[in-house]
Each structure stands twice: as C-alpha cells, then as structure tokens.
Structure 1
Amino acid sequence: MNLLPSRKDDRPFLPASITTIATHGYGVGPFTRDLMAGLTVGVVALPLAMAFAIASGASPERGLFTSIVAGFILSALGGSRFQIGGPTGAFVVIIYSIIFKHGYDGLVLTTLMAGVLLLIFGFFRFGALIKYIPYPVTTGFTAGIAVLIFSSQMKDFFGLTMADVPPQFADKWTAYFQHANTINMQTLLVAGLGLGAILAIRKYKPRIPGPVVGVVLASLVAYIFGLNVETIGSRFGGIPSTMPDIVLPEVTFARLQTLLPEALTIALLAGIESLLSCVVADGMTGEKHNSNVELSAQGAANICSVLCGGIPATGAIARTVTNIRAGAFSPIAGIIHAAVLLAFVLLLANLASYIPLASLAAVLVVVAWDMSEARKFLRLMRAPKSNVAVMCLTFGITVFMDLTVAVGVGVVMASLLFMRRMSEVTSIDAEEEDTETWSNEVPLPDGVQVYTIDGPFFFGVADRFQSILAAMQKPSKVFIVRFHQVPFLDSTAINALESVHHRCQINGSTLLLADVGPSARGMMERLGVDLRVGTDHIFTSLDDALKAAHCLVGPDPTNCLPQQPIAARPALCEE
C-alpha cells in the first residue's frame, strides 16, 4: 500500500513496527533485547514524565498518562525503529501558558487541533518540509525554552513560600527576589543532593540513569530524616492508581479561533523535535526513518494523549538515545516502556507521594542545561551576522514575550534574509563580446544589447531587473535577455519580463529571449508569456538569438520575425 506517492519518498506508508519485523524477523533474542531496553527506558521516563507535567502547570499523573498513551501509539504507529515518545521540555512553556490562560480544558482542545494538523502534515507528506526550519531559529527558541524551564524551577528548588509563579520571565524573577527571605534550607539541601547525585552519576557511571538515582536518593533522605519539604503527596494528594476516563472538551468556533496559533505552535514543535530525534537515532544506528509516517503517528498520539488525561507529546531525544544504548531491536521496546509506566500507575502509585518536588526541580535544572546546548549557542555567535541576528531575536522573544511569536518571527526573518542572499547570488549583467560566457560563433551587431541573468529569477530579483533596463539612456533596437543558468523563475519575474516587453514595444525595440531552458519555457507557457512575447522570439541558444538580431538590425528586418503589434497591457503586468 502506498498512499499519495511522491517522487522524493515512495516508501510504503507503514509504521516501523511492521516494516522492522517484516524485514528483520522477530524471535526470542530480539524480544529479550526489547524487554531489557523497555524496562530501562521505562525507569528513566518515570521521573521525567512527572517533572515535565509539574513544570507545565499540570498534575504529575498527567505526565505519566502521556508517556503511557502517547508512548505506546508512537512506538506502535511511528516511522522510526527506536523512537520513544512522551512529554518533553520543548512543550513546558507553551503548555504552562495555555493552562494559565484557558485551563486544562483549553489545553485539550488546543492539542486536539495540533493532532489534526500533524495528521494532515503526515498524510500530505510534509515531513521533509518541517526539516527546513532554519537552524538559528531552532537553536534560539530551544535555548530560550531552556532558560524558561530553569527559571520556572526556582520556587521548588529553593522551597520559596509564595503564591503561584507568574508566567512571564521578568515577573518570575522579580517575585523570586521579593521572596528570597523565605528560602527553605531543608528543601535546598534535598535539591542540592538530588542535583549532585545526577551530576556525579553522569560523570562516573553514565550508563546508570542519573535522574532516577537523584530522585530516589533525595526521597529516601527526606523520608528517613523527616525533612520539612513539599512532596507530590502534600501538593497534589498523590497519584491515582487507575487510568482516567475519556473526557471531551468544550468546542466552540470562538475557542477554535483563539487557540489556533497555540495549536500550530504545538504541531510545529512536535514535528520538529520528533523528526530531530529520529535523525539522531538514524545517525546512531544507520537506519532511516519515515518522516511522514512519524508525523501521522504524532498526530494520533497527541489526540489520544489528551483525551486520556495527558498533555502534548513528541519524540524524546534523551529517552530515544537511552533506548538505543540499552540494545533495543524494534519499536516493541517503546511499547514495553509504556507498559512499565502503566504497571507503576496501577501497582506502585502510592510511592510517588513521597517524592520531594525539590528533587524533580533538580532533574529539570539538568534538563534545562542540556536543552540550552550552550556550546552550540556560543559557537553560532561566530556565524554570519544575519544568523546571529535571527538566533538572538528568536531567543529574546521566546524568553521575554511568547514562544508562538518567537517561532513565527524567527522563521519570517530567516526567510527574508535568505531571500536577500538569494537575490545577491543572482547577477544581471550587460554582455560584451570579450566576456567569458560569450558565444564565439556569432558576433554582437551594433544596436543590439545583451543582458544575462545568472541565477534564480524570482521576486527578489525582478525589481532589480526592471530598474537596470529602465536606467539605460538610449534604448537599443534589439534587447536580448539571456537566461544563463536560471534554474527557475516565478510569477513576479514573469511580470517583470512582460513589463520590459511592453516597454520595448512602445520604444520600437524588439525583445528576444535566449538560452531558455525547459523549466523556464514551461513556466512561460503556463502563464501565456510565450504568446505575448512571441514564440519565434524565444530561443534555446544565444547564437540563434544573435542570428535573428543580425537580421533585425539589417537593411530588411521585415522578414526576420513575425511583427509584434503594440498590445494592451497584459493583466499580469504592473506599472
């Protein structure tokens, strides 16, 4: 089965759980590998799922429900052999903002919309397009998210006695400093112990899951010594030992309009982070993921996650890497990881009540540092100024304004800078006989001017093309526009070409087009430009155009080419 075949990706639209087993087979050995990897990743995901949910302004069980439901669906239906799905740090800021403004019901509706968008992205094979988000944009908003995650954990890390933390970055730190005299030293001790344990494990025993050790050690110390610290039980009343019922949100047209920008942001973030995680997994294993199947699975996973009491989910790079290093063979490992978390909810949920929130804050401090990729951020500061500007602008808007705005502004700014660079790459020059690109067979006659366009001919170049020709003091009898190495042209370039043709008719000049390749000729034919300019005025080589020009400037030009009367302005042209 192959839905919507594409020239670039004609692989079957099937999940990796099917293609892996069909290609490599399955037996006791592969299952043993998947079982050990699934158990390992399940243990690693446990504290992270609760920590991300709490940081997002939700209760900890919503993170577990997300890892169970979304983790299962992404492994069963996804396009990567090793991908592990669940809540991640990328969503923390946007989820917190949505819950703060619209409540959890608003988050459910937003995520349902995002899930539908992801299904559309996958079904229409947009997987490759999402990868074109510029690197400075992703670096900027990822670093910005890391700063916001770090900032959001200071209340629980220091045990500050204060009301709800303000959502804005500046307001957060203002409130922290105003309540600095309420620091709980016992909470700070637990947080420092958890953080130190995580860092020590990462340095000396990297194969052991540091977050698990940090949370368990901090929980034991707090319980044994009876420390006065806030726990999951004291704030949230513990974790329920059953899965929730499916609840549908209130849907109105006004709410859909209001939440659409946030839904688009969640869809883009889910797609970008998931495909980035797949690329990392491919680089480690030599496999190749199916990006369109992965996007479709992301859509289904997010829809089911919030209907079952969860939050948005995507591919988690750290857990995916852990899965690979633990020896996973197939997506069955991800399904087992979801089963491990389900078993914890059903059998051991009461133990979560003893986990200090300070230990989870320590986990997220480490996560924030990893997300910031400080070395890559600083290295990119040595890149061209345009890249630095895009990254810093995206970073600043993410931290001080809004993630949704940051992604949009960053992409638009990067696109504008890219178009400017593309327009600079394209050259428009007057040709002389001594230039390197000149034809040696036919000389350039008097009264003939040749202009060469070298590079993409699009709207960023069209105005310069018209300005150069309009600036000439005396119009020549024949203008030859040479499409030398023009890979494509758009409708704005066609419009500029028609404007020049119209000006030539008024001035009594003749416009000839040379070196017109199949792509450019096809575009002209689709818009009818070949008929307006004259099919006999379009040549595949410069030599043929020059031969026609010789005839046109000769003593009897009447039989050289069909005469083109001065026509009314074409509808496509603008003054």
Structure 2
Amino acid sequence: MSRAPRRFQAQLPLPGRALLNTWREGYTPGKLKRDVLAGLTVGVVAVPLSMALAIAIGVAPQHGLYTAIVAGAIIALTGGSRFNISGPTAAFVVILFPIVAEYGLGGLLVATLMAGLILMALGLARLGSLIQYVPYPVILGFTAGIGVVIALLQVPGFLGLSDIALGSSTLNNLVVIGRALPELSPPDLCIGAATLATLIAWPRLKTPIPAPLVGLSVGTLVALMLAWGGIEVATIASRFSWEADGVAGSGIPPFAPSFALPWQLPGANDDPLTVDFALIQALLGPALAIALLAAIESLLCAVVADGLTRTRHDSNAELIGQGLGNVIAPFFGGMTATAALARTATNIKSGACSPVAALVHSLVVLLAVVALAGAMGYVPMAALAALLFIIAWNMSEARHFVHTLKSAPGSDVAVLVICFLLTVVFDMVIAVAVGMGLAAALFIRRMAKLTHTRRLEAPEPAAAFPDGVAHYRVSGPLFFGAAEKAMATLRVIDRDVRIVVLEMQEVPSLDASALVAIDTLRRELAERGVGIIVVGLAPRMVLKLKRTGIRRQAGRFAVVRQLEQARRLARRWLEFRSEKPA
C-alpha cells in the first residue's frame, strides 16, 4: 500500500477508537476486575436515573432503561472516550418533553433516529473540534434554564398533583400548578420530602453506596409504611402499564428490549406515526437541537474525563459512536442518549480503565429490568420527583451562574441571561440559536475593534517615501465586519497624493468581503489617478488577490514583499506616469 492511502486512512475517524486503543495497550485481568466493579457501581446509579428521566419527558420508565442498555453499550463499543457513560440525561428533558406531548413516543424515537444520523455526519465530517467554539455563557445559560424547567416539571409529582397535565409553556405550567396547589397530597409530599432529605444528607457520609439508590429506597419504605396504614400513593406500578404478546401488567415489563420499528410504536393520540416529508420537516429542528446538545454534552464530558485521568479522547470517533447509539436505540424502544457527566465521574472514581466498564453498566441495567422489574414498580412517583430535583439543581450550576453574573464582562452577562430566559420562557432550540447568534455578533464586534488603519511617518528622512506617496499600515483581520471600516480611512487622502502604500504584514486573514473592499478602493483611487502598492501580504492571501483578478485589472496596483521594493516602485511610478503597473 502506498503512503498516500495510509495517510488518508489515518485521517478517517475510526469508530471504536477508545476500545481499540485499550486493547493495543494491553488489557489485563486486573483491569477487567476494576472495570467490572466500576460498571456495577455505575449501573446501580443508572437504574433510578434512567427511570426518572424517562418519566420526566412523559414516557414509560422502561424506555429510559432501554436507552441505558442499548445505547450505552453501543456507544461504549464505538465511541472515542474510554470513560464516558452514556444514557438518558437531564439536559434533554426540555427538548424531548414537547416532542412527546405533540407526537408521542413514536415521534420521540423518530427524532432520536434523525439526531443520530446528524451526529454521525458531524463525526464523519471531522467536525468534533468545532464544538469547542460554543461560548461558555451560552452553555451555562441554557443548562441553568434546563435545570429550572426540569424542577418545575417535577412539582406535580412531588406534591401528588396527579390530575393536572403540563404542557411545553413554562408560564402556563406555573399557572396550572398554582391553581392546583390546594389539592396537594400530604402523603406524597411526605415521601418526596423524606427522599429529598436523604439525597441531600447521604453524600456527606462519604459512603460508597450511591445516594440515588438510598434515597429511592427510603422513599419506597415510607410509601410501603403508608400503604400498610391504608394510605395509597402514586407509584410506577399504579401509574404505568404494559402489554406484550398478549400478556399485560403494571409497572415495568420484565423483558429485555426487543426490536420494533420506531414509527410503528404509538405516536400522537396513541396511533402509529405516518412517516412522511411533513413529519421529517417538523422534527428536523428538534433533531438538530438534540444533535447539537448531544455533541456538546458528550464532548464536554470526554474533556472532563481526560482531565481526571490524563488521557485523550477522539472527538470525531465519539460523535460517530453517539450517532450510532442514537440510530440503533430507537429500534429497541430507547430514547435519546448522550454521555452523562455525573455517571462518568462516578465511573472514574470507581476505578474504571476502559469502555468495558460502560458495557458492564449496561448489563447491570439489563439484569435489573429482567430480575427486579416487579420491585421497581413500588418506587413512588414523589421519590422520583425528589431525585430529579437534585439532578436539576446540579445541572443548573447555580454557583457558577451567580459567579459569572458578578465577574464576566457585560456582553457575556447579557448572552447568559438571554439564553437562560429564552430556555425557561420558550425552549432550548430558540435559546441556543439566539445565544449563538448574539455570541457571534459580539465576537465580530470585538474582532472589528482590533482592525484599524493609520498613516505612518518615516522616523528618518532616508527611509521616507518621496513626496506624493502616503504610507499606511493596516492591522488586524480583514473580514466582513471590519474590511469596510479599514478601507474607508484610505478614501480620505490629500489631493497631492499619487500613490498609496499599504503595509499589511499584520493582516492575518482576508475574506471575500475584504477582497471586494480592496478592489472597490483600487477602482475609486484609479479614477483619481492614484496607484496602490501593497507590502508584506502573506503568499496565501496574494493568491486570493490573483484568483479574484484584482492584479490583472487596469490601474496602478502592485503587491511586493519588502518596504524597500515599494520605495523603488513608487519612485518609478512617479517618474514615469505613463508606465503600466508591474
């Protein structure tokens, strides 16, 4: 094989890069033991979280478990991070809840499939590194907003307000919850408060037993005690039911996930979806938002994992792995998945060495579904709501939010607050789009301020240009936001000036707008009999001028490398006014 194909192959994103690198470095029985123990720990944490997050977006809890099983395993096998644990995450609640409300489970799974294809395309196009350009105020703004929305959506479950239905409008949900407050259920509130207190206090004991497991166990025990006293509360078993192959039951079906076409599962109004262009068009916006958020969350999670373990991930392979997981999971009833920071950190702290730990985590969740589905049906809804309160608080990063408000520049604070408010009041799709637009506009404004043009005077007479020559220096990038401002200065020159020398060593880039501005300036000055000599422009930018045809046009226009060359050429032009440009 020739060298060129080898180089080409090395540049292609390789699915499963993390697993392959682990195998090449040598995988020992000791590492396997550590991975198994870490996977057991994370799997125990993932079971209650997966159920809670599925319920939070309005679908049955088993779909969250199926996500951790199928997507978690596939992403571990095909991703680019050794330590990422993937499954349902709180970040998607704000996006997925409106999809479920309008299109049902079928619409959710189709949107997940579309998002997976987008993620794979991003990875294959090697765009993993572009995610790092999402500004921090945008990320912090919409994550804090998501935390607020998640917490609001859990209030009915926490208070036992079972007869109200929430929609996608936060303001309307506030009104609905406020009107229903007199009907709150003291038993559900008692269970929620006990679970919440346990979840807050347990981590302070520094024990290896995960707080979600203990908190839900306490809430379930309180619910059982109330049931013995004849007081019934809402549980997974009382809220959800299932039917498969003529067998029906309540709670979570005790079966492994099975293959089914996503669009044949119930959609809006409990009917299968009709997949057509109208549906694809309607779900394209949410799918793009899902893909963007999944990419951001997964790659940020991988970066944090690299910092904790001093390793390196392959961002493009990770995007491909996340895409494959989200493409395949919907065919087994799994919803949107991405890397979860809390579960990944738990994985690392538990001693994980490779993606094998994530595979073990998926097997633990599968075992819980098959063997403990009946027991999980006793978990009260109020306890799950309390768990989601903690998730929402952690996701909001309230301390970082307040610190940024106090310390960041005013423009960044404005972006942060706008993203936060748009996420809470409208939705995350609008928040991210507006936030990115504002951040880009502010960046353009800041870069434009770095670009300026000023006239120079020679420090020594021997180095000066002859009379009739104006010497200017252009500094900073010439792009659409700054090119016209930089060129406008050159249009106001003295009447006796016959040649303008532009020193452009400090211009790092030119875009199409800058090329047009230079050509326009050349034409305007040529009409007045004034020539232009450009000095020090980088070769790649000189090539851009040639491609646009500026150097081939009529009029005195030349590009030279050194200032001394410009002096000699200026003298020739002044001495021989009739001579054509070089």
- Decide: shared fold, TM above 0.5: yes
Label 1:139 to 1:306 Cα distance change in 2 as closer, same or farther (>3 A).
same
Contact 1:148 1:399 in 2 (8 A): yes
For the pair 1:239 / 2:256, whether they are aligned, the reply is no
CA distance in 2, matches of 1:440, 1:111: 71
**What SS does the corresponding residue of 1:119 show, helix, strand or coil?**
helix
**What SS does the corresponding residue of 1:459 show, helix, strand or coil?**
coil
Q: Counterparts in 2 of 1:508-519, with a 5 A limit?
A: 508-519=529-540
Label 1:150 to 1:440 Cα distance change in 2 as closer, same or farther (>3 A).
farther
Label 1:82 to 1:399 Cα distance change in 2 as closer, same or farther (>3 A).
same
Offset of 1:134 from its aligned partner? 0.8
Deviations 1:485-538 (A, max 9, x none): 111110100000000110111111111111111232122223233323789711
Contact 1:245 1:308 in 2 (8 A): yes
CA distance in 2, matches of 1:563, 1:535: 5
1:409 to 409, 427, 434: 434
Match of 2:473 in 1: 452
Contact 2:123 2:318 in 1 (8 A): yes
CA distance in 2, matches of 1:308, 1:414: 39
Match of 2:541 in 1: 520
Contact 2:220 2:383 in 1 (8 A): yes
CA distance in 2, matches of 1:103, 1:475: 75
**What SS does the corresponding residue of 2:168 show, helix, strand or coil?**
coil
Label 1:268 to 1:475 Cα distance change in 2 as closer, same or farther (>3 A).
farther
Deviations 1:371-424 (A, max 9, x none): 011111111112111111111111111110121111111001100110010000
Contact 1:3 1:13 in 2 (8 A): no
Contact 1:501 1:533 in 2 (8 A): no
Of residues 154-163 and 129-138 in structure 1, the stretch that sits farther from structure 2 once superposed is: 154-163
**What SS does the corresponding residue of 2:464 show, helix, strand or coil?**
coil
CA distance in 1, matches of 2:548, 2:510: 12
Match of 2:244 in 1: none
What runs of 5+ residues in structure 2 fail to find an aligned partner? 241-249, 264-273
Match of 1:126 in 2: 127
Offset of 1:220 from its aligned partner? 1.5
1:256 to 272, 280, 301: 280
Deviations 1:24-73 (A, max 9, x none): 21232111111101110000001000001010111111100000001001
Match of 1:433 in 2: 458
Q: Which runs of 4+ in 1 moved over 6 A?
A: 1-7, 533-536
Offset of 1:126 from its aligned partner? 0.4
Contact 2:13 2:124 in 1 (8 A): no
CA distance in 2, matches of 1:195, 1:5: 56
Amino acid corresponding to residue 237 of structure 2 in structure 1: G
Q: Counterparts in 2 of 1:304-453, with a 5 A limit?
A: 304-381=328-405, 382-434=407-459, 442-453=463-474
Match of 2:515 in 1: 494
TM-score w.r.t. structure 2 length? 0.92
CA distance in 1, matches of 2:57, 2:485: 50
**What SS does the corresponding residue of 1:153 show, helix, strand or coil?**
helix
CA distance in 2, matches of 1:179, 1:307: 38
1:229 to 233, 252, 258: 233
**What SS does the corresponding residue of 1:203 show, helix, strand or coil?**
helix
Offset of 1:467 from its aligned partner? 2.2
Q: Counterparts in 2 of 1:467-486, with a 5 A limit?
A: 467-472=488-493, 474=495, 476-486=497-507
Contact 1:465 1:496 in 2 (8 A): no
Contact 1:17 1:78 in 2 (8 A): yes
Contact 1:187 1:228 in 2 (8 A): no
Q: Counterparts in 2 of 1:109-258, with a 5 A limit?
A: 109-205=110-206, 207-226=208-227, 227-236=231-240, 237-242=250-255, 243-249=257-263, 250-258=274-282
For the pair 1:291 / 2:315, whether they are aligned, the reply is yes
**What SS does the corresponding residue of 2:527 show, helix, strand or coil?**
helix
**What SS does the corresponding residue of 1:537 show, helix, strand or coil?**
strand
Label 1:77 to 1:441 Cα distance change in 2 as closer, same or farther (>3 A).
farther
CA distance in 1, matches of 2:404, 2:5: 39
Of residues 235-244 and 151-160 in structure 1, the stretch that sits farther from structure 2 once superposed is: 235-244
Amino acid corresponding to residue 267 of structure 1 in structure 2: A
Deviations 1:156-198 (A, max 9, x none): 1111243212321111111111111111111111111111111
Match of 1:539 in 2: 560
**What SS does the corresponding residue of 2:502 show, helix, strand or coil?**
strand
**What SS does the corresponding residue of 1:523 show, helix, strand or coil?**
helix
CA distance in 1, matches of 2:89, 2:4: 31
Offset of 1:89 from its aligned partner? 0.6
CA distance in 1, matches of 2:383, 2:462: 80
CA distance in 2, matches of 1:221, 1:308: 34
Amino acid corresponding to residue 111 of structure 2 in structure 1: T
Label 1:200 to 1:173 Cα distance change in 2 as closer, same or farther (>3 A).
same
What runs of 5+ residues in structure 1 fail to find an aligned partner? 565-575
Label 1:5 to 1:224 Cα distance change in 2 as closer, same or farther (>3 A).
farther
Amino acid corresponding to residue 538 of structure 1 in structure 2: V
CA distance in 1, matches of 2:410, 2:505: 31
Of residues 372-381 and 515-524 in structure 1, the stretch that sits farther from structure 2 once superposed is: 515-524
1:507 to 528, 535, 549: 528
CA distance in 1, matches of 2:142, 2:565: 54
**What SS does the corresponding residue of 2:377 show, helix, strand or coil?**
helix
Offset of 1:547 from its aligned partner? 2.0
Label 1:419 to 1:325 Cα distance change in 2 as closer, same or farther (>3 A).
same
Contact 1:4 1:124 in 2 (8 A): no
Deviations 1:428-447 (A, max 9, x none): 1112224xxxx986312211
Offset of 1:207 from its aligned partner? 3.5
CA distance in 2, matches of 1:218, 1:66: 25
**What SS does the corresponding residue of 1:480 show, helix, strand or coil?**
strand
Label 1:470 to 1:199 Cα distance change in 2 as closer, same or farther (>3 A).
same
Amino acid corresponding to residue 430 of structure 1 in structure 2: R
Offset of 1:311 from its aligned partner? 1.0
CA distance in 1, matches of 2:462, 2:540: 26
Q: Counterparts in 2 of 1:38-53, with a 5 A limit?
A: 38-53=39-54
Amino acid corresponding to residue 232 of structure 2 in structure 1: N
Contact 2:47 2:65 in 1 (8 A): yes
Label 1:538 to 1:176 Cα distance change in 2 as closer, same or farther (>3 A).
same
Contact 2:40 2:361 in 1 (8 A): yes
CA distance in 2, matches of 1:440, 1:455: 28
Once superposed, what is the RMSD of the aligned Cα atoms?
2.1
Deviations 1:249-294 (A, max 9, x none): 2321111111111110000000000001000100000000000000
**What SS does the corresponding residue of 1:513 show, helix, strand or coil?**
strand
Contact 2:458 2:464 in 1 (8 A): yes
CA distance in 2, matches of 1:109, 1:303: 9
- Give the paired residue count: 556
Contact 2:526 2:556 in 1 (8 A): no
CA distance in 1, matches of 2:312, 2:561: 41
Contact 1:475 1:509 in 2 (8 A): no
CA distance in 1, matches of 2:145, 2:108: 22
Contact 1:33 1:329 in 2 (8 A): yes
